Structures are given as C-alpha cells and as structure tokens.
Chains A and B, each alone.
Chain A
C-alpha cells in the first residue's frame, strides 16, 4: 500500500476561515501534487512540486497556496475559504516512472 496520508478527511467550515490541508508521504518521492475534483468531473492539477523549496501552479487556477519545506510534507492552505472552494482535494506523489500514489483525499465544504 502507498504511504501517503491526508488530513483532515472531511472538513466543514464557515466562509472566511483559514484552513490547511495536510499531506505527508514516507516514500521519499521528490514529486508531489495537489488535485481538485468536483463531482463527476476530471481531476484538475492545482499545485505541484519537484522537490524541497519547489512549488508550481497547475493548470487550474486556485486561490490556495502550498509550501514544500520538507520532502515528505506538502500542505495546502486557503487563507480565506469561500463556498466556491467546496470540493475534494487529492494529494499525490510520484516515483520516476510517473505512477502516482494518492492519498485518500480531503473533502472540504465551505458554508
């Protein structure tokens, strides 16, 4: 089984709150990713990282930010959550073959 963990699994918060979605992997992978998925839609890449101190924006514009201070940790932060941020957020890491290892996802609801 893949060793990549996301917390929280489910989160319901009010508009304007700051939230951080945690993602950690113990496989030593350099590449890590955040995907956003709305029901019935494809996964959209919102952030990725090639290694420590590397962060890039994905193809889907997002108001979230990420950091990569340690290889194993890739948290995603929303400074001021809005209802439009309601979605499922999936974290992944990859090895050299490109195969992605996913966490179980964080389902965010902003009221």
Chain B
C-alpha cells in the first residue's frame, strides 16, 4: 500500500507571507513525484514533475525540493498572493500507478 501524506491539511496566510508545505511518500520504488495546483471550480494543473534526488524546481514564486532517500518533498511559495489560494496536491509515481495525497488547502488573505 502506498501512503502519501501531506501537511498541513489547511493553511491560512496573509498576502506577502512566505509559506511551505510537506509531502511524504514511500522511499522505495520511487519513479517520480508530482505537484499539482487545484483552484476551486477548475481542473488540477501540474506544477512540477520531479524525478531525481536533490531536484529543485522553480516556477515564478513557487519552488519545490525533493529527497527520495527519506521520502519527502517541500513546496515553497514566496510572497503569497490571493491568486495562490488553491489546494496543492502531491502524487507519488512508482511507474506502476500514481497515488495522491489529500492535499494542502491554502488560503491567502489580502
């Protein structure tokens, strides 16, 4: 059984704050780790697909790191904006199937 856990479940921050959340996953049979952003009433969109231990990826104010040996990934948002409000999902891919965490729901207050 693949367990993907995300924390915190929800997070409320003020505009301009920087924030981060965690995804933990099994450290064996790793193939890829995905991050998705899911805004209300829209479809989830891929942020990052990470495959190598030590990977760091960045897209604007959002970045992510990956540690496959200990089984965790961090997602960072610098200077949060109200439009960053969404649920952030991570998914663990072992090349056989993909298992999702329950997500972190981020609310950024103006």
Contacts and interface: CB of A to CB of B under 8 A. Distances in A.
Nearest to A94: B98
Contacts of A99: 34, 46, 49
A98 B43 contact: no
A42 to B, nearest CB: 4
A97 interface: yes
A98 to B, nearest CB: 5
B43 A103 contact: yes
Interface in A69-89: none
A6 to B, nearest CB: 8
Given A42-B100, A45-B98, A102 B32 contact: no
Contacts of B31: 98
Contact of A59 (B43, B97, B103): B97
Interface residues of B, number: 23
Given A99-B49, A100-B36, A42 B4 contact: yes
**For the side of the interface on A, what is the size category?**
20 to 34
Interface string B17-61: 000000000000001101010000111111001000000000000
A13 interface: no
A58 interface: yes
A2 B93 CA distance: 21
Secondary structure call for the A interface: loop
Interface string A22-37: 0000000000000100
A100 B102 contact: no
A59 to B, nearest CB: 7
Contact of B46 (A42, A100, A105): A100
A41 B9 CA distance: 10
Contacts of B44: 90, 100, 102
B101 interface: yes
Interface of A: 2, 4, 35, 40-45, 48, 58-59, 90, 97-105
Closest 7 A/B residue pairs (Cβ):
A102-B43, A43-B100, A42-B102, A104-B43, A102-B44, A42-B100, A99-B46
